[in-house]
A and B are shown apart, each in its own frame.
Chain A
Amino acid sequence: MDLLQGTLDMLVLRTLAAGPLHGYGIAKAIRGSSGELLDIEFGSLYPALKRLEMKGWIAAKWDTSEFNRRAKYYRLTPAGKKQLRREHSKWAEFVLAVGQVMGPAPEGGKP
């Protein structure tokens, strides 16, 4: 499934709200929580992480991973939390609005 333009940042912020993760962990978590529907390529996730870091919404630190390997862990900053809340309410409004326009699935077509 393709991502809507601009939703990747929001997804990353939401995923990190649960706790710090390294880059690959974020990709895995999004895939897991979307029921394997959203498969984010690491190649597009990584620049997005750097963009969020640049904006000050997430921060990164080197740490030791579950298999005792070094990895860079990202966590949400207070500014990131605020941004997530903003994005979340915007997203909810958007879903509501689009839902109202679309209504139930039109008849005659196969579901």
Chain B
Amino acid sequence: MIFWRKLLYLLPSYRRARERDMQEELESIAALAGPGVIGNKTGVAEQTRAVWGWDWFEHLLADIRYAFRAMRRNPGFTATAVLSLALGIGANTAIFNLMDALMLRWLPVPNPGELVRVNLRAHGGTEVSDSFSYSMATALADRKDIFSGACGFSGASFNIGPRASLHPVSGAYVTGDYYQTLGLNPESGRLLTRADDQPGATLVAVLSDGYWQRQYSRNPGVIGQTIRVNGVPVTVAGVSPSGFTGANVGAVADITLPVAALARIAPEEAVLLGPGNFWLRILARPRSGVSTAQIQAHLAAAWPSIAESTVSHGWPASRRKEITDSTPELVPGGTGYTYLREMFQKPLVVLLGVSLLVLLIACANVASLLLARATARSHEISIRLSIGASRPRLVRQLFTESVLLSLTGAAAGVVLAWPVSRFLLSILSGGENSQFPIVFDLSPNGHVFAFAGATAVFTAVLFGLAPAFRTTSIKDASHTTRYRSRALSALVSGQVALSLTLLIGAGLFVRTLQNLMNVDPGFRREGVLLVDVDGRTEGYQEARLTAFYQDLLQRVRRIPGVVSVSLSGHTPLSGWTWSEAAVPQGQPLPERDNAIFVAAGPGYFATLGTPLLSGREFNEYDTGAEKVAIVNQAFVDRYFHGRNPEGAYLTATVTRPPGTLRIVGVAANVINTGDLRTAPKPTVYVSYAQGQPARATIIIRAAGALSQIAAAVRAELQPAFPSSPLEIGTLAAQVERTVVQERLMANLASGFGALGLALASVGLYGLLSYSVVRRTREIGVRMALGAKQSRVLWMVVGNATRLLLFGVALGVPAAWAASQLVRTMLFGLTPADPAIIAAAILLLCAAGLLAAYLPARRAALVDPMTALRHE
């Protein structure tokens, strides 16, 4: 009641009416009883307005109005401060925006906080796996005593449309309880259910709302229609709610199919449905009213029987026991799943720390600007204090100015942050033209605005509060001046220390990237095109498939500009791995400790540019009954201790039972798996023609413009693949994708380093200019007494040098401590790399002295007469 009446007083018109009423009443009383009765009429009115309860609000409005006027009166000051803050807050907001999208945003489903993901921790180990087999996912979904719903899901890519005009669409395979677990209702039609996820069920798909909009303009008639997925007719069952793009965040699932459909949609991958393939992530909703700890205990107790019934019986007992002995763990799942999180969590946290340093430098800039301005305003403040303004009231007003400055900075920062975070995302996606880009909605949302706002208030406290108290203190002037110049020097030295930390960090990350790019991976990455092909999608099998691939190679070889062509099961650093146990004949096969295997065609090493150390390449005749192999140097070192293994025999699990391979050559080490940091592993190359043909990559070494040759290759090969659009990439891009994280760090750390350096230079420049202006008279006197221009110049430069050296002395240990935190992200150097530290100090001092030169010159050019007349 009273609240609503108070709220009414917020209306200016109502408040004005009450004000008039009050004045009228006071006059009527004065008329009745004489003006003496009322006493101090203004005071009474003021107290009465306080009763209305919004006087603080009116004061705030007055402060804001005053602050705006002050900002307008000093456009130079305002622009410098707002720009500094916009850069600092913008940098933080950009990183935060990405973190928010990647890690913090809930899935758009009801009660996302209830959802959990299931991980599997190896018995007594630190190894945690988040992937499960199809049978495990359905077994978990069956445990209604633990979960009200549980499902498995995985990203996928489908080729949609009639054979002539296929287009690739990113999608997902999900188990039957997916939508029920998430608690979603269809936008149109129906969603998938358990009945759809059965072998032999009618093939149905769910479209995303976005895809429905883009492809079908939200035409409800499409429900019940048939679309072709990988050439197979599938009925559209319905559309998922708008905003929902799958539990695999970052990869939009436009078409979602039940896992069981995989057997007919992609028969060549049907092996995924078996018990030996772990490829689904699990999302589950625990039964309501049960604590996470109870659920966890319940699940742990149930796990051995789930594992027992779902692990392949064909596996060795030790492998089976490993899975049964593992412990299932629950982790929060309301934000969905993305592999990006694991990959970029640490870099983003580090970058947020780095951008915080930039913000601190910006704050120091604004604080020193405010302190310098305090001198100019001391007159105004002392007048206001002497005519009765209270100090808290003045501090509040000065602080309002700071908050307004930083909110303006934050607003500009959010505008800056938006394109920056989009740019960062495109780095993560591996460039603008990647086929399945990482998709996040990066338009600023509530989180981001709240973050920017909180950062603004935090910075205002940081840079505004101390100057506000300082400005209104009524100590004697000389004391204040001394304090100010000392505080300003401390701020500038602090900035120097912070920006040195940033520069050293930037140096470490740039060197790390360079070191990685200089690693010799064992092949020549430039000038190589890669074409992923799978003839099984076109109906070729076995010997016909091998012949089909040979024909493709022949046709590519004829294209002008192609130097050599080969094929292999997979290519280095593609993310694919094949491993088998292999040892020299006569030795026992190890149970774990496998070698890397690559199925390679004739001319493989020549095409990749990998040197053969001895023996020969595979050739067209390596198709017979005697299987041949080429091993790498690491394999020779490991098993042959330097002896030439040519002609020796290997036992390997390439066939069941393990078969024999004759070694015909030794190749140089190649980094096949992991990334450029990984040491080459013992590797066995086998002849592609002697194995079971499946998918393959055609490797083309070309001379000339790769894009033209890629177009020619596409024109030549695409007609042979009417039901799947070909992807043609380059080996260089494939290698580049493994250093995305390092490139991100190198780019951003140097960007922030440059930003910090610029801000610190502006800070130094500002301080020196200010001190030159303040000491104009002193300088004039010195020059009048015979000081030379060079002497004055050196006085200012010496001052700058002192500040710089002090900052460097602070910054080197700070940088050392900070870089310990990123030690594991570095490659080929230690945090205390002397060359980088020296280079950073040099760069910083050069920039600092440049910033000092202008004010120093101005000091040297002071005309003694003018300076003395100045007072």
Q: Which residues of A line the B interface, CB within 8 A?
A: 22-24, 27, 41-43, 46-47, 50-51, 54-56, 65, 67, 69-72
Closest to A42 in B: B37
B28 and A43 contacting across the interface, CB-CB below 8 Å: no
A50 and B5 contacting across the interface, CB-CB below 8 Å: no
Closest to B33 in A: A24
A71 and B44 contacting across the interface, CB-CB below 8 Å: no
Q: Which residues of B line the A interface, CB within 8 A?
A: 1-2, 5-6, 22, 25-26, 28-29, 31-33, 37-40, 43-44, 47-48, 50-53
A71 and B28 contacting across the interface, CB-CB below 8 Å: yes
B28 and A72 contacting across the interface, CB-CB below 8 Å: yes
**B111 → A minimal CB distance (Å):** 42
Residues of A within 8 A of B28 (CB): 22, 69-72
A22 and B29 contacting across the interface, CB-CB below 8 Å: yes
A67 to B695, CA, bound (A): 108
| Contact A23 to B39, CB < 8 A, known contacts A43-B44, A55-B2, A56-B1 | no
**A58 → B minimal CB distance (Å):** 13
**A77 → B minimal CB distance (Å):** 11
| Contact A56 to B2, CB < 8 A, known contacts A42-B38, A43-B38, A47-B51 | yes
Residues of A within 8 A of B6 (CB): 54
Q: How many inter-chain residue pairs (CB < 8 Å) link A and B?
A: 59
A41 and B39 contacting across the interface, CB-CB below 8 Å: yes
Closest to A45 in B: B44
A47 to B5, CA, bound (A): 16
A54 and B29 contacting across the interface, CB-CB below 8 Å: no
Residues of B within 8 A of A42 (CB): 29, 37-39, 44
A50 and B31 contacting across the interface, CB-CB below 8 Å: no
A51 to B49, CA, bound (A): 10
B32 and A47 contacting across the interface, CB-CB below 8 Å: no
| Contact A47 to B29, CB < 8 A, known contacts A41-B39, A42-B37 | no
Residues of B within 8 A of A69 (CB): 28, 31-32
B48 and A47 contacting across the interface, CB-CB below 8 Å: yes
**B44 → A minimal CB distance (Å):** 5
**B33 → A minimal CB distance (Å):** 5
Q: A22-B29, A24-B33, A46-B26 are in contact. List 6 more A-B contacts (CB 8 A).
A: A23-B25, A42-B29, A46-B48, A47-B51, A54-B5, A67-B32
Residues of A within 8 A of B52 (CB): 50, 54
B51 and A65 contacting across the interface, CB-CB below 8 Å: no
A55 to B38, CA, bound (A): 23
What are 18 A-B residue pairs whose CB atoms fall within 8 Å in the complex?
A: A22-B28, A41-B39, A42-B29, A42-B39, A43-B39, A43-B43, A43-B44, A46-B48, A47-B47, A47-B48, A50-B48, A50-B52, A54-B2, A56-B2, A56-B5, A69-B32, A71-B28, A72-B25
**B364 → A minimal CB distance (Å):** 46
A46 to B48, CA, bound (A): 7
Interface of B is mostly: helix
**A79 → B minimal CB distance (Å):** 9
Closest to B31 in A: A69
**A15 → B minimal CB distance (Å):** 16
**A28 → B minimal CB distance (Å):** 8
Q: Which 3 A-B pairs have the closest CB atoms?
A: A47-B47, A50-B51, A43-B39
A27 to B47, CA, bound (A): 18
User: Which single member of A24, A51, A55, A67 contacts B29 (CB below 8 Å)?
Assistant: A24
Residues of B within 8 A of A56 (CB): 1-2, 5
A22 and B48 contacting across the interface, CB-CB below 8 Å: no
A41 to B41, CA, bound (A): 12
B44 and A46 contacting across the interface, CB-CB below 8 Å: yes
Closest to A52 in B: B51
B40 and A43 contacting across the interface, CB-CB below 8 Å: yes
A47 to B766, CA, bound (A): 52
**B482 → A minimal CB distance (Å):** 47
B50 and A47 contacting across the interface, CB-CB below 8 Å: yes
A46 to B53, CA, bound (A): 15
Closest to B37 in A: A42
Residues of B within 8 A of A47 (CB): 44, 47-48, 50-51
A71 and B29 contacting across the interface, CB-CB below 8 Å: yes
A22 and B51 contacting across the interface, CB-CB below 8 Å: no
**B26 → A minimal CB distance (Å):** 8
Closest to B27 in A: A70
Most buried by A among B1, B2, B25: B25
A55 to B52, CA, bound (A): 11
Residues of B within 8 A of A51 (CB): 51
Residues of B within 8 A of A41 (CB): 39
Residues of A within 8 A of B40 (CB): 43
| Contact A24 to B32, CB < 8 A, known contacts A47-B48, A54-B51 | yes
Residues of B within 8 A of A54 (CB): 2, 5-6, 51-53
Closest to B5 in A: A54
Residues of B within 8 A of A46 (CB): 26, 38, 44, 47-48
Closest to A28 in B: B33
A46 to B52, CA, bound (A): 13
A27 to B44, CA, bound (A): 15
Residues of B within 8 A of A43 (CB): 38-40, 43-44, 47
A46 to B43, CA, bound (A): 11
